[in-house]
Amino acid sequence: MRAGNVLMKSRLFCALLFISGYFFLSASAVAGIGDWKSYTDMKNVRSVASDGTTIWAATSGGIFQFNPTDSTYQKFVNSEGLSTNDATAIFVDSLGNVWIGQQSGNIDVYNPKKNNWRYITDVVRSGKTNRSINSFFQSGDKMYIATGFGAIVFSISKFEFADTYTRFGTPPQTIIEPNVAAVRIYQNRIFAATSSGIVVSKAGSTNLIAPESWEILSNNLTVNSFAEFNGGLYASSESGMIQFQNNSWNFVGGLTTAVRIIAIVDTSMMFIDGNSVKSFNTVNTVSVLNTGIPSTVSSGTITKQRRVFLGYRSSGIGSWNQTLNWEFFLPNGPNSNTFPQIVVDENGMLWSVSGRSNGSGFYSFNGHQWRNYTTANTPLLLSNDCYAIELGPNNSKWISTWGRGLILVDKNNNVVKVFYKNTPGFIGLNNDTNFVVPGKVASDRNGNVWVPIYLAADVSKTIWKMKPDSSWESFGGFPYGGDPGYMFGVVIDQNNTKWFTNNIVPAFSDPSSNNAFFNESRNIVGSQNGWGMISEDDGASGSNIQSIVVDKENDIWMATSKGITIITDINNPKSRVSKIYLNYIAELYINCITVDAQNNKWIATSSKGVFVVSPDGRQLINQYTVENTNGKLADNNVFSLAFDKKNGVMYFGTDKGLSSIEVPAIETQATFSTIDLSPNPIYLPEQQSVEIRGLVEESTIKILALSGKVISQFPAQGGGRAFWNCRDGEGRLVASGIYIVVAHNRAGDQVAASKIAIIQK
C-alpha cells in the first residue's frame, strides 16, 4: 500500500479533472464486497461421527471437524457451504462423504477430498410439520434417514430418494408420521425407533409404504440408538439396554436405567450409563471404562486409534486422556448464538450481549478471535444476564445487566468497574431495591454518560448522568402521568435532547409506557420541565419503541412495533413527525435501525429480514432475507445491527448466530490527508481491483496517465473509499505503467493524489 500527498489546487489541475467522460464501477464486482460470513456458538453438540482419524460434530451453530493429532479445528457454517447452521445429525459414509442433517429438513453432503457440496432439499419442500433430520444409517448403496415424520431411503449412487415410510402398523393401531430417532437394518428387516415405540418391517414384505407391512413391537420405550453386536441387535433407551430376540425385545440384565450406545469396537459395545462410559462384551460382562462424565452427553463415537469422543449438549466434545482425566474440545466462538444488541468500537472490534434471561455474559470479536466475559472469568461481573451495550467516551464499552448494575469496559477491553446500588447509588425496583436494571447508555458531546434506570423505586432518580470527573447527578420529574420507568435505552441528538426507548428485543414492553424525551435545558418546544412526549396522535407510527437512531442530518428515526417514526425538527419535535409509507415496511414490527456511511438506513424486522432504504426513506435500495441470500443471513428475525465504518462491514444479530456482509461504504474523512491504494503494485490480469481509501464526502476519482491524459473518471462508490477496475473509459484493461489516482470533493477545493504501478503479466 502506498500513500499519496495532498495536492495544492491549481487552475490547470482542476481543468484536467473535468475533461474525461463518466465511468462507474459496479461495487459488486469488487473482491470481498458482498461476501457473507457467519459466527456461531458450537457448544451445543447434537451428534458426532468419526472418519477414522478426525471427529465431526453437528451443533446448533453449524458443524466442525476436530483433528486430535494436532488439536486443530475446521468450522463450517452457512457462509462456508452449509444450508443452515442448525445441524441435528452427522454421518461419514463409506466413501468419506460427510452427511449433515438440519432441523429445517435440509440434508447437506460434503466431500472433504474435493471440497464440494451437494444438497438435498426434498424434505424441506415436503410441507411436513416436523422436518428435522435425526440420524443416518448406511447399508450398501442405501442411506436410511430418520426424520421428524418417518423414515426415508435414499440411493447414494443415484443421489435420489427411493422410498419414504410414514405410516406403521395395521389399522386402527397405525402410527402416523412419528418422530423417528434411529433406523437400522437387521436380518433384512428395517427397524425404526419412533416416538411411539419400535417398529419393524415384516419379513418378506415388499410394499413397505403400506402400514400393514410393519409391526409395532414396543410402544412403551423411547429408543435413541441401535447397534448390531455379536450377531444380535441391541437398542439403547431411556429405560435401559434391550436386545431383539425371538421377534421381541428383552432387557439386558442389570442395565435398566437410561443408556446410550456410542460405538462398537472389536468384541465390545460401548455405551453411556449415567455419568460413566461402560462396555459390554460378548459374554455379557459389563466393564466401567471411565466415570465422572463432566457434561450431558448427546452422542458418541470412536476413532481408529480407539479413542472415544463424546458430544456434549453444552460443552462441545470431550474425551479422556491417558490419566483418565476428561478434556473438552471446542473451536473458538461466541458464548451464545444470541445477539440481542451489538456495537462496533473505534478499532473495528464487535461487541455483543447475550440477553436478559439465562444469559451467557457478553463477548467481543477482533476479526480473528472471540473473547467471552462471564461471571466465571470476570469477578466484577455480577450476572451473566447482560442485555444492553453501548460505546462511551474514549472507546469505553458500557454493559447493562438485568438486575445487577452497569459494567464498564475500558479502551483496553478490560472490565474495570461496576456501577450498582452503592456506587453511585442506583435504586432498583419497589419490591427489591437491590435489583437494579440500568438501560442502554448514551454519551453526549461534553463527555457525559447518561443512564436510564428501569422502574426505579425513586422516580426522582430515573435518569443518571456521570460527568467526565466521574461525579454523578440524577434527574426525574416526569410530568405526564403514567410510569416513566420503562426506559430501556437512551439516544442523544445534537441539541443534547435525550430520547428513550421503552421496549427491548425480544419484546418486553409495558402497553402504558410513554415515548418520552428529555432536555435538562428546558428549551425544546412542547416540553414541560424539560420533558416531552410523542404519541400516535402526533403522527407516530407506534408507541412501543425498540430502537432509536440519530442520522447524519440529525433526524430522529424510531423503530416501533408498527413501522418507523421520523422526527425532522429536533427543536420542535411534534411539528414534523412522519412515517415511512413504503408498503413493505409500513406496519412491520421493527427491531432495530442503524445508519451506514452514506446515511442509508438499515432496518431490521422481526419477520422480513433487513431492508435498506435511501437517506430519506423514500426508496428501497435492498432487502436481505434468508431466502434471497441463499441462507447466508442466519434468520429473518434480526434483533440488532451494527456498522463497522472503518472496514465497511454490516453485522446482523439474531438468536441463531451473527451474520455479516461486506459493503462498499466506509466512513468519509473530514479533509484529505492521504489517499491509500491497495494493492500497489497491481498485477494484471490476476488482480483487477484497486481500493482507494481516505476519501472525503462525495469524492470523484480521476485516473490519469503520466502525460496528464484522463484514463477514467467515476464517483466514489463507497463513501470513504472507491474502487477502480483497472480499465479505461472504454472498458479495456490499461497497459503496464505508472498512473496517477486523483480524488477531489464536489466543490473541487479539496484534492489529493497518489501513484500506482500497473504490471501486465
Cβ-in-10-Å burial (0-12, 13-18, 19+) of 335 comes to buried
Count of CB atoms situated within 10 Å of the CB of 512: 11
510 domain-assigned: no
Nearest to 33 by CA among 665, 551, 739, 748: 665
- pLDDT tens, 100-117? 999 999 999 999 999 999
Does residue 168 share a domain with residue 233? no
- pLDDT tens, 372-422? 999 999 999 999 999 999 999 999 999 999 999 999 999 999 999 999 999
pLDDT of residue 482: 64
Bridge-partner residues for 237, per DSSP? 223, 240
710 domain-assigned: yes
What's the distance, Cα to Cα, between the start and end of the chain in Å? 20
| CB contact at 8 A, 472 and 478 | no
> Which set of grid coordinates corresponds to residue 670?
473530514
| CB contact at 8 A, 396 and 407 | no
Classify the phi-psi angles of 497: left when phi > 0, otherwise alpha if psi is within -120 to 50, otherwise beta: beta
- Give 25's pLDDT tier (boundaries 50, 70, 90): very low
Backbone angles phi, psi at 142, to 5 degrees: -105, 140
212 domain-assigned: yes
Residue span of the structural domain in which 755 resides: 2-33+667-760
307 domain-assigned: yes
| Amino acid occupying residue 560 | T
- What CATH number is attached to the domain comprising 64? 2.130.10.10
Give the C-alpha distances (Å, rounded to integers) separating 107 from 104, 136, 754: 9, 11, 51
- Give 582's pLDDT tier (boundaries 50, 70, 90): confident
**What's the CA gap between 91 and 185, in Å, rounded?**
16
Q: What is the mean pLDDT of residues 43-69?
A: 98
Does residue 228 share a domain with residue 208? no
373 domain-assigned: no
Give the residue with greater pLDDT, 748 vs 483.
748
Does residue 206 share a domain with residue 229? no
Contacts of 303 (CB under 8 A, 6+ apart): 50, 52, 53, 54, 55, 68, 309
Q: What is the DSSP string of 598-662?
A: T-PEEEEESSS-EEEE-TTS-SEEEEE-TTTTTT-SS-SS--EEEEETTTTEEEEEEBTEEEEEE
Does residue 740 share a domain with residue 688? yes
Domain boundary among 303, 331, 359: 331
**What's the CA gap between 72 and 307, in Å, rounded?**
17
Residue 318 in this model has a pLDDT that exceeds 60: yes
Secondary structure (3-state) at 332: coil
Contacts of 426 (CB under 8 A, 6+ apart): 405, 406, 419, 420, 436, 438, 451, 453, 456, 461, 464
Give the C-alpha distances (Å, rounded to integers) separating 205 from 142, 209, 226: 18, 10, 22
> Which set of grid coordinates corresponds to residue 231?
450377531
* 215-219: long-range contacts, CB 8 A cutoff, minimum separation 24: 215/169, 215/247, 216/168, 216/169, 216/173, 216/175, 217/247, 217/248, 217/249, 218/242, 218/249
| CB contact at 8 A, 223 and 249 | no
Residue 720 in this model has a pLDDT that exceeds 80: yes
- pLDDT tens, 256-267? 999 999 999 989
Domain boundary among 275, 306, 331: 331
Bond preceding residue 294 cis, omega within 30 of 0: no
Q: What is the mean pLDDT of residues 40-55?
A: 98
Does residue 679 share a domain with residue 749? yes
146 domain-assigned: yes
Does residue 299 share a domain with residue 270? no
Give the C-alpha distances (Å, rounded to integers) separating 419 from 487, 570, 616: 18, 31, 39
Residue 512 in this model has a pLDDT that exceeds 70: no
Q: What is the DSSP letter of 403?
A: B
- Give 484's pLDDT tier (boundaries 50, 70, 90): low
Does residue 230 share a domain with residue 201? no
Q: Which of 437-451, 574-588, 704-718 has the lowest mean pLDDT?
A: 574-588
Q: For 521-535, give one letter per residue: b (16+ CB within 10 A) or e.
A: eeebeebeebbbbbe
Does residue 42 share a domain with residue 113? yes
Does residue 306 share a domain with residue 264? no
pLDDT of residue 2: 35
pLDDT of residue 336: 98
Q: What is the DSSP letter of 17?
A: H
Does residue 160 share a domain with residue 242? no
Does residue 267 share a domain with residue 205? no
**What's the CA gap between 745 and 379, in Å, rounded?**
51
The domain tally of the chain equals 4
Contacts of 414 (CB under 8 A, 6+ apart): none
- pLDDT tens, 337-370? 999 999 999 999 999 999 999 999 999 999 999 9
- What CATH number is attached to the domain comprising 691? 2.60.40.1930
Does residue 172 share a domain with residue 89? no
Alpha helices, H only, 253-317:
none
347 domain-assigned: no
Residue 229 in this model has a pLDDT that exceeds 90: yes
Contacts of 704 (CB under 8 A, 6+ apart): 16, 710, 711, 739, 740, 741, 742
**Helix, strand, coil fractions of the chain, as percent rounded to 5:** 5, 45, 50
Secondary structure (3-state) at 130: coil
Domain boundary among 220, 246, 276: 220
**What's the CA gap between 64 and 59, in Å, rounded?**
8
153 domain-assigned: yes
For the question of whether the overall pTM of this predicted structure is more than 0.85, the answer is yes
Backbone angles phi, psi at 263, to 5 degrees: -170, 155
- Give 12's pLDDT tier (boundaries 50, 70, 90): very low
Residue 674 in this model has a pLDDT that exceeds 50: yes
Q: What is the mean pLDDT of residues 255-279?
A: 94
- Give 196's pLDDT tier (boundaries 50, 70, 90): very high
